Amino acid sequence: MTGGEVAGILVAVFWAILVSFIALVLVRLAQTLKAATKLVADVTEQAVPLLADASATVRSAHSQLARVDSIAADVQEVTANASALSSTVSSAFGGPLVKVAAFGYGVRRAIGRKGAPAEPGPETTVFTGRAVGKKLPSARRGSRRTRGKG
């Protein structure tokens, strides 16, 4: 055998090994493509019913929102009517009611002062117009100027 024949055989063997590797890669690629095709078909098969359910849910939500919108419009109308009624009642009865309440307060105060002493003594403390016979604890007797400083 000559050197050219040996070189030809070596080249042929390397080509055979290279073709085998390429064939193996192509077989694996074909398997991957088959798996991807099956996966896409399964996803499509499951996605169609899900999209139909989602569409039905969106339609239902739209109808509920329309109902809520009509309810909100009714509530707004009722609120406007209540506001108008309140202002009407306030303008019609507000002045006389305030006068009656002030008169009642004045009468109560006049009757209450009839039996009470004119000026509270140093041992009593005044709360909302009434004289109470107890002194406040020393911690509560401080003036506003001395509170919080220390």
Task: For the chain, 150 residues long, give each residue's pLDDT as a single digit of tens.
Answer: 788 899 999 999 999 999 999 999 999 999 999 999 999 999 999 998 999 999 999 999 999 999 999 999 999 999 999 999 988 888 887 788 888 888 999 999 988 887 655 555 555 555 555 555 555 555 555 555 555 554
Contacts of 125 (CB under 8 A, 6+ apart): 131, 132, 134, 135, 136
Amino acid in position 117: P
pLDDT (0 to 100) of residue 122: 53
State how far Cα 35 lies from the chain centre: 45
